[in-house]
Chains A and B, each alone.
Chain A
Amino acid sequence: MNNIIVQQISSHLEFLGYTVKDNSKEDSCKFEAKQAEWTIPNLGLRIDKDNFVFIECSYGRWNDGILNSVDFHNTIQKMNQSSLFSKWYPVKKSVDNGVIVVIETWAFGYDKNSFGTTITSFIDDVRKNIPILYDNFDSFRKR
């Protein structure tokens, strides 16, 4: 990893218990942060040339039928309303892969305090909301 921001962020994520794996190619800076247990989400990170850091994770999978549930859509709206640093939306994967929910956030460059605030709040939102989705829409879960 040759990018100073990647090094700083990797080091920060290690303090939170993540193992960081570099997936960068020549023209893009991408990496993954994984964690052995379910307590915090696995993350995908991407850094663009202006040093914006995009962070996302996803959970699934549900049957396509969940997209016909108004209750599901309103639950997602509420999650977007109540979270501070995260954006929630469902994505339909191609060919019978079902529906996943993607959660995104971003940061600019690396600053210990602001990155820490962003990532901690992001993880808290995911921890709080994912069980709600799994519990309330269990009948749509793909087995």
Chain B
Amino acid sequence: MRGIQVDNAIGQQISAHLEFLGYEIEDISTADYCTFYAKGVIARPSFTIRIRKDGLVLISSSIGTWGKNVLDSLEFHNLMHKANLQSIFCRWYASTNDGDGVTIIIKSWFFGYEKKSFGRVVESFSADWNKFIFNFGIFEHY
């Protein structure tokens, strides 16, 4: 494996897998979690991967920010629900955690690593991201 050393057996398999897809991996692990950032190429989402000690792999990507008043828009909520209904391996939500703005978070998860099924989850995550992300352009004025 080139580049960084992810100090975790599952982390190494996953970062190697993502490199085959063109991702650049940056290790940002802490004492408690194996965490790394995967920077996507064109038309692929960048995401953060965090691996828990029990082998749970959490994948998350975020887009934003919008003003808080976007949460008063029924149209915005309906688009989020539609994204949740149609996405297969991810869920979407609006997060207000970091201060003033609203960030859209897309999350997925997986246990351990298995080449074909992990591949399907990542491909499906990218496809769902691509399918909906541009729709949120209509909320630009927020």
Q: List residues of A whose CB falls within 8 A of some B CB.
A: 50-52, 67-68, 70, 73-74, 76-78, 80-81, 84-91, 102, 106-109, 111, 113-114, 117-118
Contacts and interface: CB of A to CB of B under 8 A. Distances in A.
B85 interface: yes
B92 interface: yes
Binding site secondary structure of chain A: mixed
A118 to B, nearest CB: 8
Contact of B74 (A70, A108, A114): A70
A90 to B, nearest CB: 6
B66 interface: no
A89 B112 contact: no
Interface of B: 54-56, 71-72, 74, 77-78, 80-81, 84-85, 89, 91-95, 105, 109-112, 114, 116-117, 120
B46 to A, nearest CB: 20
Contacts of B117: 50-52, 108-109
A117 B111 CA distance: 10
B2 to A, nearest CB: 28
Given A70-B71, A88-B84, A77 B109 contact: no
Query: Most chain-B CB neighbours within 10 Å: which of A81, A90, A111?
Result: A81
B111 A89 contact: no
7 contacts: A70-B74, A73-B71, A77-B71, A77-B80, A86-B91, A90-B81, A107-B111
A81 B105 contact: yes
Given A50-B120, A114-B112, A73 B55 contact: no
Contacts of A80: 84, 91-93
